[in-house]
Chains A and B, each alone.
Chain A
Amino acid sequence: MTDISLDTLTTSAARPRRDIGIKKRYAAERRFRLYGVLAIAVGLAFLGVMLTSIISKGYTAFWQTTVTLPINFDEKIIDPSNKRATDPNVLITANYPKIAEAALIEKLGIDPNDKAEVRKLKGFLSDSSRVQLRAIVAADPSVIGTTRNVDILAAANLDSAFKGQIDLEVPESRRKVSDQQVEWMNKLKAEGVMAEHFNTGLFSYGASSRPETSGVGVALIGSFYMMVIVLLLALPIGVAASIYLEEFAKKSRFTDLIEVNINNLAAVPSIVFGLLGLAVFINFLGLPRSASFVGGLVLTLMTLPTIIIATRAALAAVPPSIRSAALGLGASKMQMVFQHILPLAAPGILTGTIIGLARALGETAPLLLIGMVAFVADYPTTPFDPATALPVQIYMWANEAERAFVERMSGAIIILLIFLMAMNIVAIVLRRRFERRW
């Protein structure tokens, strides 16, 4: 029996074949694979170029040059007429940069009476010393009359020069730091007085016209408020809408229409949502401008379709047999959905939500229209206070000309990318971990 079938097999295999161009087919396949590899290579190359450019420009933003100076809180400069006991304004309006300058003059061994030399020191230390030293005095007025070491921020141009970002071959008149300043800088560097430290200010400062004291602090808080608002609004509304559409609504023309519209909404350019937010939330409802609450509402509208589509896909992926099993046991439809379908769809819903949030976090255009592109120096204490967002901060810094702002922009991009990557990794891990195959 086996012999016979083997025989017939061999005879049939030996039959002459038509030439169907096997060589051509193989060549076509090889070509196609090559195209694929090339496409991926081009994509990776662009990604590589982009990341290299951002990181090489931006990593220095995480370091900031400071000058450690023995500051003499000289009573003659801070409170020349000795009225601080009666007039609290004296300590606020005192000329703090002057005592920082005095300390620097002493450190460099310049004659304080040589006006020309002293003038060259202008723009060496950051004016932020005013705020910094005032805070020290305000915290402890007894410091007046004593001397203590304080890290004073170098001005942005000196910071750039210290990091080697300023081309010293350029004639002195055409660059932002003078030869004398470079000489002093090298002297202080050799003494170990001037050094780079991790730039915590990048994360804590708000907007500022001085690059060395500007940071993403306000933007981080604004983005955080908006993410919380998006999560609190878009997740429950989106999931409820999807459950109703997927599990309860009877299929009809009307539900088809809704479905088409949701898919269309997901493709609407985000700036249109910004216009909608401007017209409805600000002009019609009278909500405050530049507030992260309005930004959150606009981003919620933008994220809803993404979450609804992801949730519906996750619900539809739960096999019908689970539904039958629950209903067959006498579970009501609500029990079926909330005790069986929803827990099984949860990983998919979470993944979709995180990806939607990540998209919202990187969204700029709608926020420009509702006025979040603003110079906000103070932390917003509530979501109704003016704030900016991370991508908007990047946009604003991109408009600045100074070298130090470009550096900060790249630094902020790195921060934003780290957040986005972290969110996407969480989404992937969740999917891998809880994905169930039937």
Chain B
Amino acid sequence: MNIMTEKSLDDAVNAEMNARSNEIIKMRGDKVTVHYGDKQALFGVDLDVRQNQVTALIGPSGCGKSTFLRCLNRMNDTIDSASVGGKITLDNEDIYDPKIDVVELRARVGMVFQKPNPFPKSIYENVAYGPRIHGLAKNKADLDVIVEKSLQKAALWNEAKDRLNEPGTGLSGGQQQRLCIARAIAVAPEVILMDEPCSALDPIATAKVEELIDELRENYTIVIVTHSMQQAARVSQRTAMFHLGYLVEEGPTDKMFTNPDDKRTQDYITGRFG
């Protein structure tokens, strides 16, 4: 019933947003469906991701928000049973086009995972790995610069500069997650996908990562999946609400948290379900 209304509302919001010249659509999902074997996980999701903004995906567990996120850099390809339908574009290019090199796509659309997952190598090697396999550095000096810049952008340089050769797994949980962000930044992506990046962190580490996300917005487009309503409210400019594989509604974060159009969003935000 409200798919229609959502649609028209979306369009209205889009029109309003597009009116502002700095709001470019970076990625666009068009009727995205995902099946895991016989089970359908996403039902025709239309969602735009705007450049240099943080888009938060919220919703109860199993609603498809992580599935959608993993479609954006084709990480679902790694699951044998998953099949993706519809169309997803990055800068108006279909990323599921057979001509697209998935390796290059993942370099352009980086990802940070729920659990910090640094490689069991040194901090330096963790950050340097991406640039190395993508040939981003001509020599060691170049690589050093990339590593330093990435760690600085991930607000980890001051803590890590004296221990670059120590294993990344020896850092604290929050530092590990920032290391993973630095690792993602090092390959110079355009979009960074974050799948509940703070769910394994304590409040102080969470605050640091959130601050970092806000800073990163200047240079990157960010899509973040989160279970924390407060986090979505704090870091994102736009929020999309998923439920049972459908996109319930999407809009500016302020509006979503104060005056949502859909009752389910209202109920979820106020903690009545989920």
Contact = CB atoms under 8 A, between A and B. Distances in A.
Interface of A: 250-251, 319, 321-332, 335, 339-340, 344, 436
Given A321-B113, A327-B78, A328-B73, 7 more contacts: A251-B80, A324-B78, A329-B129, A330-B106, A330-B134, A331-B103, A339-B129
A322 B117 contact: yes
**Size class of B's contact patch?**
20 to 34
A106 B130 CA distance: 85
Interface in B88-136: 103-107, 110-111, 113, 115, 117-120, 129-130, 133-134
16 contacts: A321-B113, A322-B120, A324-B75, A324-B117, A325-B113, A325-B183, A328-B106, A328-B111, A328-B184, A329-B183, A329-B187, A330-B187, A332-B103, A335-B133, A340-B119, A344-B120
B117 A330 contact: no
B269 interface: no
A-B interface, 4 closest residue pairs, ranked by CB to CB distance from nearest: A321-B117, A330-B106, A328-B111, A330-B107
A319 to B, nearest CB: 8
B54 interface: no
A325 B110 CA distance: 10
A329 B117 contact: no
B133 A329 contact: yes
Contacts of B134: 330
Interface in B111-169: 111, 113, 115, 117-120, 129-130, 133-134
Contact of A325 (B73, B180, B187): B180
B130 A330 contact: yes
A327 B75 CA distance: 8
A436 B133 contact: no
Contacts of A344: 120
B113 A330 contact: no
Interface of B: 73, 75, 78, 80, 103-107, 110-111, 113, 115, 117-120, 129-130, 133-134, 180, 183-184, 187
Contacts of B107: 329-330
Contact of B104 (A319, A330, A339): A330
A328 B113 CA distance: 9
A330 to B, nearest CB: 4
Contacts of B104: 330
Contacts of A329: 106-107, 110, 129-130, 133, 183-184, 187
Which among B103, B113, B187 has the highest number of chain A CB atoms within 10 Å? B103
A319 B129 CA distance: 19
Contacts of B183: 325, 329
B113 A327 contact: no
B187 to A, nearest CB: 6
Nearest to A321: B117
Nearest to A436: B120
Contacts of B180: 325
Nearest to B112: A328
B222 to A, nearest CB: 15
Contacts of A339: 129, 133
Contacts of B187: 329-330
Nearest to B113: A324
B75 A328 contact: yes
Contact of A328 (B80, B110, B118, B120): B110
Which among B73, B113, B118, B129 has the highest number of chain A CB atoms within 10 Å? B129
Nearest to A324: B113
B31 to A, nearest CB: 25
A340 to B, nearest CB: 6
Contacts of A324: 75, 78, 111, 113, 117
